[in-house]
Amino acid sequence: MARQCARVGKPHPQSGDHGGSGSVRAEDLELRDNSDELPTVGLKEARQAAELRVLQNVLRKHGGKVLPAAAELGVSRTTFYELMDKLGIPRQ
């Protein structure tokens, strides 16, 4: 009997019910291709956008406190402040 995914009740991707390829496909995860909806940006812009989201999220998580936010990301407080300045995040 095939295993079922606990969250969606569908065949487990490793149960062999997907053609025997041994790998998980986008269809197995019910993902859709939305690449045509994504703006075309360069690697530098994409990296900066990702860094901005990460810093904003970790600052929010730690109530704006830089030291615990920096520690969570594994960088020094000085490096964190430099990233904030580079990304235009105001110091509070």
What is 39-87's CATH number? 1.10.10
Query: How far, in Å, CA of 75 to CA of 26, rounded?
Result: 34
Q: pLDDT 10s digit of each residue in the chain, 92 long?
A: 455 555 556 565 555 554 556 788 877 888 777 767 767 789 999 999 999 999 999 999 999 999 999 999 999 999 999 999 999 999 98
In the chain, CATH 1.10.10 covers 39-87
Please report the sign of the dihedral spanned by the C-alpha atoms of residue 74, residue 76, residue 79, residue 84.
positive
- The pTM score is 0.57
Determine which helix (DSSP H) or strand (DSSP E) holds 11, and give its type and residue range: none
φ, ψ dihedrals at 39, nearest 5°? -70, 150
